Structure 1
Amino acid sequence: MSGSLDNLNDDNRELVTFPNGARLVLDPMPHLQTTSVGVWVDAGARDETPENNGIAHLLEHMAFKGAGGLGARELVERVEDRGGVMNASTGYERTGFYVRCLAEDAADMLDISAGLALDQQLPEDELEREKGVVVQEIGEASDQAEDLVFELAQAASWPDHAIGRSVLGTEASLKDISCAQLRDFVETNYVANRVVMSVAGHFDRDQIIAQSQKWLEPLKAGAAPIRLKPEYGNGAIVRERDTEQAHMVLSFPAPDSRTQDRFAARLFEEIFGGGMSSRLYQEVREKRGLAYTIDAEFDSYADTGRFNVYCGCDPSDTMEVQKIVKELWLEFANAGPSEAELKRAIAIQKAQFAMSSEGPSARASSGAYELFTFDRLINLSEALVAIDKVSLDEVKLCAQNSTQGKATASCVGPANCLDAAFNFTQG
């Protein structure tokens, strides 16, 4: 076959790179009875303009209206007749189409996944109907305060940039998108060097190779995406809602997903607000009883990132909660973690990496993510060693660097709680 074969991992994964730049990840797990197959594309909402915001996600929807020579109903019946589960997702930087199935059906299900990603029919008579479905999805997200507060946080953190806009788009931005524009988006972004086919689980290697040749070899290479680095914002965005709880997201900048600092960032996230032993959980929930849910997350992209603290609390407590969060954040930046905290966080992170490596769906997705992010496959052992090497000073410096940046916040709830978000961003 054409293409070069490199054994890059000590975990038995194989990477096949085709002459046009398309790549195939083979991740055998022969002890399983199932397989996860999929095709991922290095394209998403950050490749949109304000005028066509939502086109990447709309394209994902439209793919299920007919692809790979099968109609909409044929697609789902072909998968579900064999007990498979088919899905897709669109993010800011990549889009994926995937199926979980029995091992004996892996090649056939990969054929369907590849058709969804690389051979969409895009029927004109389905476009307006599907736009209506997406508008309902937008409405559903807006109705959920927990979802809306993160949309607002995204806009506050990266204003005037594609990463700051909703992946779903808006009713106004979807209105004028045509099938011709969808095809243009595919032609520009769904090119060989931005496509990864990934298979994890129990499968027949020769059958998978045959499918990869069928779908990947004919693809044309294209230009790398032109993505402007976003500037981190400063300020708060709030939305008044008659809710029982106030929902807040409090944020500071964080490392991007490609830097080695990402390991220290994961450990800071874990110590600060990752679990029940975290500082936020112990102080805000256990000690003071101010919230049922409070946690932290490390949200990263290729060239930017942020730490978020989410809290759902009584509207009358938002001012106190944001004050405690900020004080704890600054205290962490000043003093750093304890040895016991770091040891616990390392154990948790290593366990999470190991647990995710045992699921074929996570492994298939991870193969694509690693290639898009690092241009190589990352051994599990390499990641675990990197986590083990993170020092107290590195975690402390990560917290310090975050608080030296601009603060952003969002809040959804009654009018009397909204000032808390603005207070967090000041001083």
Structure 2
Amino acid sequence: MYGLIALPLLIVLMGLGLPVAWSFAGVLAYLTWVYDVNLDTLMLQGFRSLNSIVLVALPLFILTGYLMQSGGIARRIIAFVSRLATGRGGMGTAMVLSSSVFGAISGTATAAIASIGSIMTEPLVERGYPRGRIAALLGVSSLLGILIPPSITMILFAVVTRQSVAACFAATIGPAIILIIGLILYNRFLVGRAFEEVDIPDEKPESFARVTFKALPALSLPLIILGGIYGGIFTPTEAAAVAAVATLVIGGLIYREFTWSSLGKSVVNAAETTGTIILILLFSFMISRIMSFERVPQDLTEAIQSIVGSPIGALLLVNLVLIIAGALMDDVSVTVVVAPLFLPLMVANGVEPVHFAAIVACSVVIGANSPPVAPTLFLSCKICRVPILQAVGPALGLMGFVALPVMLITTFWPGLSLAIPRWLDLL
């Protein structure tokens, strides 16, 4: 019973403005006190959990995202995709596809927002897109980095639930494809109805062949990373190292846009982000250890099963909890706390852990753009220089008509997330 108070306590601490890592520390202090746990032993177990080769991929993929931003790689990708995405709603389509390619390299939403938003916002405004709609589309599409492998969120899920990283990567490909198609179609539907898109010809257009030639080194990155992982050439951790080195080579030797200042800034930003995530992971491992020992997940499963009484009801309830948690916490917090807590309930209702990974990833897309916290949407608004109130309405439309249906389809159609892992013989 005491353990069930941990999640509301975490939300309250974060709502009071306490940093996320120290909010986790507060929950840990509460659980240690109510269950009278030996903190020395618990700390040792937490450090042992962090001693994982898989976690080495985290700082490397995070660094890759920042290096793409400062090395000119993101700009070449956007230029190439913009030439491909023509016709009605072409610029909006280009933003969605650019986010997809960016996600297939770095696995982060924050770097995608900063890179794609800073480059594409003004061209979209010139073509008649309202800034609020740009911020909303950027916020939702940037989270394709969570669905398209490699994904930092899926690495965290695999570590805390002891699943295969490659299987979790593969499970989110199907939902990602449907989300991409849905975002493109919804944007095309709005053009000419909610706003008018103006065609502005380029004064000094480059040929498609030249744009493609410039983008080829950048576009080779997702092929190297994903081809290497699923071709059995290297592990996800080795893929992260390859991605970081390849990004350095392409940005430094081919595009020649790195400076010592930009490299230093990228390393510092990656170190700060990694440090925060590792600290959260340490506290979450210790929290999970206490909860497992006190059988909190099992008690929660029995309580929900007795109240709901059907697998469909349990799935819908978990979907709702994930969305609410995502609206109040960041994606890391949802993944390392809520996911392990509800995994026994999902397994009891016949849901594969890898399938649940896809459900969690889809919920993050909705929660990260939902008030009151909406961390991704707030960052998008900052990059697009627009008040949050102008972006909330368009964001709710994108989530209600696109992201939520994708989450429900993923939840109740297991084959969507399990087909590729099975095809790749990962399950």
Q: TM-score, normalised by structure 2?
A: 0.25
| Larger proportion of helix | 2
In terms of Rg, which structure is larger? 1
| Larger proportion of strand | 1
Q: TM-score, normalised by structure 1?
A: 0.25
Higher relative CO (CA 8 A, sep ≥ 6), structure 1 or 2? Answer: 2
